[in-house]
Amino acid sequence: MRTAGTLAMLALLLAGTASARADAPPPDAVFDPGAPLKTLAPKVVVNSGKLEWVPFHRDLTSWPTLSHHDKRPTPRPVRATLNGPLDGDAARGRELAMRPDKGYCIACHALPGEEWPGTVGVNLAGYQQHRNADELVFQQIFDARVFNPNTVMPPYGTFGILTEQELRDLVAYLQSLE
């Protein structure tokens, strides 16, 4: 596996920097807790046989299971409350659903206008017809484990992958799909 070697090298790199706190990331975590852009990636130093570690273009620290040696407890499912009017922007929600660095819902779900959707989750085209309350849709995206403890859908709210406003935008988008 490609990541096994990477993790082993990061173990060497970070072994000295990891703190001893119980909730600290494991020594082979693929990020540096002290750096501003916390995820590192290997870069080949040409003709040297060596790798240098540079900030990765994304901060992957929201995903706590990057390392098989990560023994920190996974955050428990969170019941979310949707206060006040939804106030979501459907156009922004659509963008979030397509963006690989945001919702990337399209990796698992079919949505209108995408020709190569994922087939892991249910087809969300025409979602309005399901007539689900905004609160329920919000909870599903915030933390789907409340409905299905074994879901593969990421807990976007609980893990801090998306902000509350982004979740509201996504709910507005799904509810707009006729």
Site residues (vs ligand HEC, CB under 6 A): 97, 103-105, 107-109, 120-122, 130, 132, 137, 140-141, 144, 148, 151-154, 156, 170, 174
The answer to whether 6 and 27 have CB atoms below 8 angstroms apart is: no
Which is closer to ligand HEC, CB of 14 or CB of 174? 174
What is the nearest approach in angstroms of ligand HEC to the Cβ of residue 154?
Answer: 6
Q: Which is nearer to ligand HEC, 50 or 99 (CB)?
A: 99
Name the helix (H) or strand (E) containing 92. helix 90-98
Q: Which residue's CB is nearer to ligand HEC, number 36 or number 100?
A: 100
Q: How far is the CB of 81 from ligand HEC (least distance, A)?
A: 17
Residues whose CB is less than 8 angstroms from the CB of residue 141 and which lie 6 or more positions away in sequence, other chains included: 103, 156, 157, 162, 167, 170, 171
Is the CB of 29 or the CB of 170 nearer to ligand HEC? 170
Structure tokens at 12: 């060497």
CB of 89 to ligand HEC, least distance (A): 14
Q: Which is nearest to 141 in space by CA: 116, 109, 112, 113?
A: 109
Structure tokens at 14: 């970070």
